[in-house]
Structure 1
């Protein structure tokens, strides 16, 4: 196991958890679809976008763990952008039902962990010469 692979194991797992939670949220939306107060159009759009971004970030994480500097940079940027987007969307009054705000808060915390870890000096140093 390479040093890059070791250092990225935890942030990669956090992205995997983000994606898994996102998929479970889409499944919950399907189950709750007959309750318009719980599953709004915004819920459908947001949950699908989150699954897609989760899959994309996981692909960046896999590429970065294989030593790809481009994947690492994309992962750093996308995870930070998603944290900001989550904060904004959760803060918007009435935009998302409470259950999705909670789910998004958890997703935001998972990605905040990713942002802290992949932007740390140790990991950045591994990609400094790539």
Structure 2
């Protein structure tokens, strides 16, 4: 893993996964509070945790030099960032606590999107260099 940008992406996505899994645990603990945990919250937090795990897998493979994983990482991270922005911006759709958590995750994902779209990160894989 010689590409510092991809190493940083792995760290960002590790933090994203930890926050996402912690949020699922918090949702499970708050399940008896319908004002805080709705069906939409269950679905959203589960999907975010799953996407975080997949993105981290792709990031690790990309850091090892796998071009296909890097391409998937770039595309999926942009989609996840857009979905997070929609959740944060959509008033009333989710409880405030989840929107705050998603804003934090959005900042992490913004870092991933920026770093994976830097020319130096892309060119190291395009040239066949080891991640």
Q: TM-score range by the shorter chain?
A: over 0.9
Match of 1:58 among 56, 63, 70: 56
CA distance in 1, matches of 2:88, 2:39: 16
Q: Which residue of 1 aligns with 2:87?
A: 89
1:120 corresponds to which of 105, 114, 118:
118
Q: Match for residue 34 of structure 1?
A: 32
Uncovered stretches (5+) of structure 1, i.e. residues with no partner: none
Distance 2:26 2:120 in 1: 38
CA displacement 1:50-80 (0-9 Å, x = unmatched):
0100000011001101100000000011111
The alignment partner of 1:59 has SS state of: helix
Corresponding residue SS for 2:126: coil
User: Mind listing any 5+ residue stretches in structure 2 that lack a counterpart?
Assistant: none
Note if 1:3 corresponds to 2:17: no
- With the length of structure 2 as denominator, give the TM-score of the two structures: 0.94
Q: Deviations over 1:19-53 (max 9, x none)?
A: 10000000110111110000001100000000100
Q: Does the CA-based 8 Å contact 2:2-2:63 persist in structure 1?
A: no
C-alpha distance in 2 between matches for 1:7 and 1:88 = 27
Written as runs of structure 1 = structure 2, the 5 A alignment for 1:10-25 is 10-25=8-23
Give the secondary-structure state (helix, strand or coil) at the position aligned to 2:120. Answer: helix
- TM-align CA RMSD: 1.0
Instruction: Tell me how many residue pairs correspond in the alignment.
Output: 128
| 1:79 pairs with one of 77, 80, 88 | 77
Displaced runs of 4 or more, over 4 A: none
TM-score by length of 1: 0.94
What secondary structure sits across from 1:3 in the alignment?
coil
